[in-house]
Amino acid sequence: MQGKRLPVQPMQSRIRAAFLSVFLILTLILQAGAQVGYVPQYSYTYDYWGNPRSAPDAYRAVNVIYSADLGLEKPINNPSSLFVKGDRVYLCDSGNHRILQIRRDGGAFILERVIDSFTGGKGPNRFASPSDVFVTEEGDLFICDTENQRVLKLDQNLNLLLTITKPLDETFDQRLSFLPDRIVADVTGRAFVLVRNVNKGLVKFENDGRFTGFIGAMPVSFSISDQIWRLLSTRQQREQQASFVPTEYDNAYIDPKGFIYAVTTTFAEYDLIWDKAKPIRKLNAIGNDILVKNGEFPPIGDIDWGTAAGYSGPSKFSDITVLHNEVYVALDKTRGRLFGYDEQGRNLWIFGGSGNMTGFFRNAVSIEHIGYDLLVLDSLENSITLFEPTEYGRLIYEALERYQGGEYAQSAEIWNEVLKQNGNFELAYIGVGRALLREEKFEQAMQYFKLANDEDNYSKAFQEYRKAWVERNISWIFAVLFILLIVPMAAGRIRRIRKELAEG
Amino acid sequence: MNGSIRPGIFSRYFSREWRGHFVSTLRYALHVIVHPFDGFWDLTRECRGSMQAANFIVFLVMLTRVLQLQYTSFLFMRVNWARINVFTECLSILLPIGIWCLANWSLTTLFEGKGRMRDIYIGTAYAMTPLVLIQLPLILLSNVITVEEGAFHAVLSSISLLWSGLLLICAMMMIHDYSLGKTLAFMVMSAFGMLVIIFIMLIFFSLISDGIAYFVSLYKELSFRLY
């Protein structure tokens, strides 16, 4: 056997040499890449056909904050939620029954105070596994004190203002424990609480703590086939089919206009196909979903699921945050990815992943923003990752904001800059095309809309182009019509007359 | 080595009478589509149609399909060029026609169908004439209308399909000398027959490939042992 393997040796060494050179070249490329801050295969978007296309990074992880960075004696344990008010970050450290108030100062994060108790009230004045915190404009704190089965409202100096406990209303299932999980509040002090195991939507409490019902439950719609199936099934089977239930939300965010963005992960995979699942919803005051969906795909996260790296199935959003320019960012806990959508529901960028490296997550549970910067909480790493937009990301935001502000020409200029960095970005083509359409450069606009597969805008541009073309060539059109219609008629008549003459 | 030129395979296509026959049988397609009952009766019985013309129509249908993919405005047809293979597109027209003729003949020949395989093929091909006549100009039309005017495109496109479908029914009625009900019944049964043929073909191919794989692995095993 040895003798037989000998002739292979030179081949192997050649392969090794080849590998070495490839490795060296790769190292050089990667180093060059590192200098311009580019991590390959990190950010992407989906094209018209649903294929993932690599994109420049819109965000870069600039800092990861651990317990030690905050100078905590007791390390953070199983944190559940983040909240940001101004430059203050509130971190719900559920495992240690406390809330950390952190101030951001440039790139540094400084621990300001540890909230673990309050004054006033009759019950225990400590928290038990608090799972969420919300701070109002006045600085009052709403805290979901989950294990104590209550929601607390405290003022800035931690004096108890209000305690919300299980509503004794008959619409609220009295068999369930009251386990508040997430909370948002509007400017009037009305609180919307997500309660575990309650699937009627968000539980609404007035500012005096009065329970006033549920909002945001989607109406249960039976299809005809469901009806027939129910008719055919026995009573026991019908009772087991309790999976017709409406929504149980997983997280919520209230934007400055008072709309609640809610995410849900309780849906069947096949319901995503015709956008029946609606994993992201924008609820108005009466609880209707008014999320705009003008993208090629509805905002459902990943389009191409694949089965790579042991992850399969759809994206499941654990949290959502909405920037002041109405761009919303959803956090996917399946693959640890962040999905940015503009107010029209069109995907802007996707990045992130599962793993231990900076910018990757093991269990991403909560997302918040300070200005354009994003904060992501990882409950297994017990860390907060800070993302700052890159130049590319800033350009996208600027283009969107200028368009929202009516500065169409400037918006198009910025979209052109975006296109220099990412030629696969269909939204940028539409942006440029719209400006060209406004400048009445219809032919160029058509080109851009075609590249973006935007049929409606293309049609608008084409209609104008066609009108101009017809007006320009009207004499030719008539000339051709004349030749095609009049000349054969005249020729036929002449021939007939000649014939008659010849016969006559 | 006498000086005479050996007749080539294609020389007959250049003869005057062949061309005259081809053109007149092809032109007969324009008569058939507006007079389907008489037209299809005479098509095979009076030899007004020809195999060559039928082949040419099928070729035109394939050409229309390919031109459609390339030149239809993207407003009406989105083509993912990364996944298009022209040969697959052509086969997706040729194979169904072939299987259809086979299935239809296999069934009707048992139930007093008068048509031969050749008649069925010619009839089917002539019935597809409106597809070419309407879909080909539609390619041009699609490039001068907008999405809002897309209804014209959709209506004309469906008319061409409907027309061809009705012609196919007439063709089957006339060729086999069936009543309308019997024709429809046998067309549905032919569709099932097509499924059966495809199923058998799949089984056949998987069996053959398994058989080949067996001998390949046998050869590999032996060559490893003996090496």
Nearest Cα of chain B lies from the Cα of A458 at a distance, in angstroms, of 8
Tokens of A305: 């699921």
Is B2 among the domain residues?
no
B75: nearest CB among A49, A455, A466: A455
Is B74 within 8 Å of A455 when comparing Cβ atoms?
Answer: yes
Dump pLDDT digits (tens) for B71-117.
999 889 888 888 899 999 999 999 999 999 999 999 999 988 888 99
The CA-based diameter of chain B, rounded to the nearest angstrom, is 73
Gyration radius from chain A CA atoms = 31
Is B4 among the domain residues?
no
Is residue B85 less than 8 Å (CB to CB) from chain A? no
Is B40 among the domain residues?
yes
Rounded distance between C-alpha atoms, residue B42 and residue B122, angstroms: 12
Question: What backbone torsions phi and psi does residue A282 show, to the nearest 5 degrees?
Answer: -115, 110
pLDDT score at A222: 61
Is residue B87 less than 8 Å (CB to CB) from chain A? no
* Mutate: best of B71, B73, B142, B147, partner A, most A CBs <10 A: B147
Is B70 among the domain residues?
yes
A459: nearest CB among B80, B82, B147: B147
Q: Structural domain tally of chain B?
A: 1
A with B: how many residue pairs have Cβ under 8 Å apart?
A: 22
Total residue count of chain B as it appears in this document = 227
Is residue A456 less than 8 Å (CB to CB) from chain B? yes
Is residue B148 less than 8 Å (CB to CB) from chain A? yes
Is the CA virtual torsion B129, B132, B137, B138 positive or negative? positive
pLDDT score at A24: 57
Nearest Cα of chain B lies from the Cα of A454 at a distance, in angstroms, of 9
Residues with Cβ < 8 Å from A418, sequence gap 6 or more? Answer: A392, A395, A396, A399, A425, A428, A431
Q: How crowded is residue A96: how many other Cβ atoms within 10 Å of its Cβ? A: 21
B158-189 residues labelled b (16+ CB within 10 A) or e (exposed): eebeebbeebbbbbbbbbbebeeebbeebbee
Rounded distance between C-alpha atoms, residue A72 and residue A95, angstroms: 14
The CA-based diameter of chain A, rounded to the nearest angstrom, is 125
pLDDT score at A18: 64
Cβ(B60)–Cβ(B130) below 8 Å: no
Cβ(A142)–Cβ(A185) below 8 Å: yes
Overall average pLDDT of the B124-143 stretch: 94
Is B22 among the domain residues?
yes
Nearest Cα of chain A lies from the Cα of B21 at a distance, in angstroms, of 30
Is B156 among the domain residues?
yes
pLDDT score at A418: 93
pLDDT score at A13: 58
Please identify among residues 32-51 of chain A the ones whose CB lies closer than 8 Å to any CB of chain B.
Answer: 48-49
Query: Which residues of chain B lie closer than 8 angstroms to A463, CB-CB?
Result: 146
Nearest Cα of chain B lies from the Cα of A296 at a distance, in angstroms, of 13
For chain A, list residues with pLDDT below 50: 1-10, 32-40
Is B3 among the domain residues?
no
Is A49 within 8 Å of B148 when comparing Cβ atoms?
Answer: no
Cβ(A126)–Cβ(A160) below 8 Å: no
Residues with Cβ < 8 Å from A267, sequence gap 6 or more? Answer: A276, A277, A278, A279
Determine the structural domain holding residue B173 and report its residue range: 11-226
DSSP states along B87-122 = HHHHHHHHHHHHHHHHHHHHHHTTTT----HHHHHH
Dump pLDDT digits (tens) for B26-60.
999 999 999 999 999 998 888 888 999 999 999 99
Is B75 within 8 Å of A466 when comparing Cβ atoms?
Answer: no
Burial class (CB in 10 A: 0-12, 13-18, 19+), B224: exposed
Is B183 among the domain residues?
yes
Query: Which residues of chain A lie closer than 8 angstroms to B75, CB-CB?
Result: 455, 458-459
Is residue B17 less than 8 Å (CB to CB) from chain A? no
